[in-house]
């Protein structure tokens, strides 16, 4: 089974609606990263979380880390078409992994105007 599971795999929402994407790890999280990717392009760094209970926000996107549950959630408030894309979570699953990260399969978000 995969070490990092993302859900849902895809999501279609109406503009203005809120949504949540989850990322669950089968191992202890030493760092959790959220990225956004447009198809055929590179990854754009959104946020990094390291401590249990940590919560960060950037514009209308908020990410939280539940260390005990080995899970992170990404919440978008009042979604807009510009939020559409693929959201990937990445994680450091070893205490000293020399910067290597493991990635989930991504969540494809479509926002209907």
Query: 10 near 57, Cβ under 8 Å?
Result: no
Q: Shortest Cβ distance from residue 32 to other proteins (Å)?
A: 12
Smallest separation (angstroms) from other proteins to the CB of 78 = 26
Nearer to other proteins, 9 or 28 (CB): 9
The CB-of-16 to other proteins minimum distance in angstroms stands at 27
Residue placing its CB nearer to other proteins in the complex, 7 or 18: 7
In the bound state with other proteins, the residue whose beta carbon lies nearer, of 37 and 77, is 37
Closer CB to other proteins, residue 15 or residue 59?
59
Q: Measuring CA to CA, which residue among 31, 32, 12 is closest to residue 23? A: 32
Binding residues for other proteins (CB under 8 A): 33, 35, 40-45, 48, 50, 88, 90, 98-106, 108
């Amino acid at each position: 089974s995969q070490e990092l599971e993302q859900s849902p795999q895809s999501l279609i929402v109406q503009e203005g609606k809120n949504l949540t994407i989850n990322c669950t790890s089968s191992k202890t999280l030493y760092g959790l990263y959220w990225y956004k990717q447009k198809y055929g392009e590179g990854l754009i760094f959104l946020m990094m979380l390291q401590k249990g209970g940590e919560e960060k926000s950037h514009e209308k996107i908020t990410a939280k880390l539940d260390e005990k549950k080995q899970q992170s959630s990404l919440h978008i408030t009042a979604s807009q078409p510009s939020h559409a894309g693929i959201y990937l979570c990445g994680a450091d699953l070893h205490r000293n992994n020399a910067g290597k990260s493991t990635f989930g399969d991504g969540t494809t978000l479509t926002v209907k105007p």
